[in-house]
Amino acid sequence: MVGNWSVTLGSTVRAVRRTSTPVTYSLIALCCLVFLVGPASGLSPVYGSGDELLLAQRGYFRRWGVIPAELFEGSPRAALTPATALFVHGSWVHLLGNMLFLYVFGAMTEERMGRVHFTLFYAGCGYLALLGYAIANAGSEQSLVGASGAISAVLGAFLYLFPRARVTSLLPFLFFLPLRFPAWVVLPLWVALQWVAAGRAGQGPGVAYLAHLVGFGLGFLYAWVRYGWATRVKAAPATAPEGENQP
């Protein structure tokens, strides 16, 4: 068994090294690994089951997630949570939705920016997106986890860099038929849906739509300032899902 895992891990590392976008695939692998070994996946017997598992999940999210009410108290540990929360996800749907978006839009954005630049961009915008949500909900005791803020920034940069790239969308009101539209149609529509949802969101646990909007705005603004109008490039077609599921 150990030998099989070693061979699989070695093959994965070699494949990542050969690709032109290793950061995107490494982020996906890291998020998946963190989820699988944590209590949210429900796969590890270490955390027990039933109420014991729910208690472990709650404690896990509070330890590694962003709690707005604690973030501005001056604790060094709390100040790190907008970074650690980027690698923690609350459910299988949450994880798979985010990783699908990162897979679709991350590779082209990383290839355009470069590995180091993309890494700093992803981490910085993700941190600021969660921080923006925390500022707007400073009294909240709910823990916030997920990579959606960073991935939304990738979407914003993608829209600026590849506005004419055609992406495949699954529209529920058209029976999930796969239709291809330019990014400048799909992504602004996604933003509009996030805006409407953010206006209807309550104070309880759920999707942090505001973090999506902050991340998207940061990503688009950064690409605009960094690359300027003269550096836009035409992109090959990309495939995109309908939308995200969690923060």
Read off the DSSP letter of residue 72: T
Question: Alpha-carbon distance 29 to 36, whole Å?
Answer: 11
Distant-in-sequence, close-in-space partners of 31: CB < 8 Å, separation ≥ 6: 87, 89, 95, 98, 99, 147
Here the tokens at position 237 are 């077609």
Strand order in the sheet with 177-182: 177-182, 166-171, 238-239
For 144, the 3-state DSSP assignment is strand
Catalytic residue among 89, 152, 169, 212: 212
- Is 89 one of the annotated active-site residues of the chain? no
Using CA atoms, how far residue 22 sits from 9, 178, 215, 233, 234, in Å, is 15, 28, 22, 21, 22
Q: Are 165 and 235 in contact (CB under 8 A)?
A: yes
Question: Alpha-carbon distance 50 to 43, whole Å?
Answer: 13
Catalytic residue among 140, 148, 152, 169: 148
- Is 148 one of the annotated active-site residues of the chain? yes
Q: Which of 198, 215, 199 is nearest to 207 (CA)?
A: 198
What residues pair up with 189 in beta bridges, in sequence order?
none
Question: Alpha-carbon distance 78 to 64, whole Å?
Answer: 9
Q: What share of the chain is helix, strand, coil (3-state, %, to 5)?
A: 70, 5, 25
Catalytic (active-site) positions: 148, 212
